[in-house]
A and B are shown apart, each in its own frame.
Chain A
């Protein structure tokens, strides 16, 4: 009898103990759930505000240049100050804009210009297609679309992509792009065109400023990036009449091929471009190429890159065909990503040397 009594007491103590353990575990579990709910609430409130600022982004780049050229004045110039403002209307419709102040001061009789370089709406379509409508950068060469200062060597942009491609070059129109999913992208665009009476290509950019649009242009580009580190591109620009109807039709076709290869620290850029202009003047053939090997490595204080570039080009300006050869070498130093200090020396055909120093950034 006594034994049964004792067992009864022990059993009830044991049950009470187990029950107590269960409630503690339950409490911990509940507490854990509460903490998780709290964490979710904090994470949600900090990530979903849905204001316009969530759909609008700002970026930009800038570059200050100092040029010390033999036989000329030294010049210091805040060459470019650029702001990007982009906005997403929906997941698939977005606005892209780029506004640039060149040479720091714009206005009547001043050195600089304020320019609208991009303003287009992009539509993401089915099957890897996108369509852009508005004012956009011509898809050609290496620098025209990607020219943030930390993405290229040399303080100044190379002259082949200045005089043959006329970088920075934008037109207005519509572009359809197709991403084939294997590294190949093809762009086709119909835009307004250049307007040059004498055949000076760089001077023919109308910059979509009340531009004469009697004759438009077709642009076709194929780019292959299917192997990491490699980019191969081919572009064609064709315009029926470069004069926009101010004299007999002068057809112009620009073809450009480029290579950009990076493997480890080694880099190689090469580009060739040539105009075929239907005229009997010296403006008929304008072409050029450059080749630029480089090597970049990490140090304890940031990344350092050195380059060497040979450029050979001829372009028509001021009633004559100018044959030029530039040889450049220099250094880029990146104290942190997207900030670059540059120095280079360029020697032209007449053996004049220019020392250039620059600081650039993008964000």
Chain B
């Protein structure tokens, strides 16, 4: 019975603190932080071949008709989304010379695996690039977080999509 009484007290302790809060980096802020000068906003249209490549590369059917990106010189910021287990994860990638300079989880809606937003995890993405442009193989392996396998998989796939699109845009602009 003693435990039951503690239980009840705990509920009342907890109830007033149910005030809601969003924890993420605003996409606009991510773009702002990424560039020193005002970036140009551009669009990649997801043509059939591009969707097919993304599917082959990651197994994902990327939805939508186009993806916006922000560009200054050879530095581009991409905001992409994929489902972790059941919810979308909104992620920002900053790519410089086809190599990831920064990866930030902007909006995280899953209840597990929130560790993916912390520096100890996302620092692994710095310097991530394709070994060669033909193979589309990443130059290093991303170590997972136990209990967050699905979110880690989703982020790894998004990093491939970001690098792929960035390579595509760089080739067409040259």
- List chain A positions with a Cβ less than 8 A from chain B: 36, 39, 42-43, 46-47, 57, 59, 86, 90-92, 94, 96, 122-131, 133, 145-146, 151, 173-174, 176, 179, 181-183, 190, 193, 213-218, 225-229, 231, 240, 260, 262-264, 337
A151–B146 CA distance with the chains assembled, in angstroms: 9
Give a binary string over B62-76; 1 marks a CB under 8 Å from any A CB, 0 the rest. 011110000000000
Q: Are A226's CB and B17's CB within 8 A?
A: no
Whether B121 pairs with A228 at a CB distance below 8 angstroms is yes
The CA of A218 and the CA of B3, in the complex, are separated in Å by: 8
Residue of A nearest to B142 (CB): A228
For residue A295, give the distance in angstroms from its CB to the closest CB of chain B.
14
A122-B111, A218-B3, A337-B59 are known contacts; what are 18 more A-B pairs with Cβ within 8 Å? A43-B64, A91-B22, A92-B20, A96-B111, A123-B14, A125-B18, A146-B147, A174-B11, A176-B14, A193-B3, A225-B147, A225-B148, A228-B142, A228-B143, A228-B145, A231-B145, A262-B146, A264-B141
CA A330 to CA B150, docked complex, whole Å: 24
In the complex, the 9 A-B pairs of residues with the closest C-beta atoms, listed nearest first = A216-B3, A228-B143, A229-B143, A57-B86, A231-B146, A92-B20, A190-B7, A260-B146, A39-B65
Which B residue's beta carbon lies closest to that of A193?
A: B3
* Chain B residue with Cβ nearest A213: B4
* Contact indicator A226/B147 (Cβ below 8 Å): no
Cα-based distance from A226 to B118 in the complex (angstroms): 9
Known A86-B86, A213-B4, A240-B2; judge A131-B20 contact (CB<8 A): no
A-B contact pairs, 10 of them (CB 8 A): A59-B85, A173-B7, A181-B118, A215-B1, A217-B3, A225-B146, A228-B143, A229-B144, A229-B145, A231-B145
Residues of A within 8 A of B144 (CB): 228-229, 262
Other-chain contact of A214, B1, B18, B118 (Cβ < 8 Å): B1
| Docked-complex contact A190 and B115, CB < 8 angstroms | no
Q: In terms of DSSP, what is the predominant structure of the interface of chain B?
A: loop
CA distance A181 to B21 in the complex (A): 15
Taken together as a complex, chains A and B put the C-alpha atoms of A217 and B4 apart, in Å, by 9
Nearest B-chain residue to A217, judged by Cβ: B3
Asked if B136 CB lies within 8 Å of chain A CBs, one says no
Given contact pairs A225-B145, A228-B144, A131 touches B2 in the complex (Cβ within 8 A): no
User: Which A residues touch B59, using CB under 8 A?
Assistant: 337
Q: Are B10 and A227 in contact, CB atoms less than 8 angstroms apart?
A: no
The answer to the question of B124 belonging to the interface, with a C-beta cut-off of 8 Å to chain A, is yes
Minimum Cβ distance to chain A for residue B145 (Å): 5
Check if B20 sits within 8 Å of A215, measured CB to CB: no
- Which residue of A is nearest B114, CB measured? A179
Contacts of A57 in B (CB 8 A): 86-87
Q: Per DSSP, are chain A's interface residues mostly helix, strand or loop, or mixed?
A: mixed
| B146→A43 contact, CB < 8 A | no
Option from A92, A173, A183, A229 in Cβ contact (under 8 Å) with B118: A183
Contacts of A181 in B (CB 8 A): 118
CA distance in complex: A255, B97 (Å)? 51
Tell me which residues across on chain A come within 8 A of B6, comparing CB atoms: 190, 216
Query: How long is the Cα–Cα vector from A214 to B109 in the complex, in angstroms?
Result: 38
B143 to A262, Cβ gap below 8 A?
Answer: yes
Q: What separation, in Å, do the CA atoms of A96 and B153 have in the docked complex?
A: 22
Closest to B87 in A: A57
Partner of B11, one of A96, A133, A151: A133
Bound complex: CA A245 to CA B85 (Å): 43
A-chain residues with CB within 8 Å of residue B120 when the two chains form the complex:
182-183, 226-228
Measured CA separation A162–B65 after assembly (Å): 50
CB distance from B146 to the nearest CB of A (A): 4
Q: A59-B86, A173-B7, A337-B153 are in contact. Are A91 and B145 (CB under 8 A)?
A: no
A15, B36: Cα distance in complex, Å: 41
Within 8 A of A (CB), among B50-86: 59, 63-66, 85-86
Against A, the Cβ 8 Å flags (1 = close, 0 = not) of B32-64 are: 000000000001000000000000000100011
Cβ contacts under 8 Å, A193 to chain B: 3
- List chain B residues, Cβ under 8 A from A264: 141, 143
Q: For the complex, give the distance between the alpha carbons of A151 and B145 in Å.
A: 12
| Complex alpha-carbon distance, A246 and B21, angstroms | 46
Q: Complex formed: what's the CA distance from A179 to B108 in Å? A: 14
Minimum Cβ distance to chain B for residue A298 (Å): 10
In the bound complex, residues from chain B placing their C-beta under 8 Å from that of A91 are 20, 22, 109
A174 to chain B, nearest CB (A): 6
Chain A residues near B23 (CB, 8 Å)?
128
Residue contact B7 to A216, C-beta cutoff 8 Å: yes
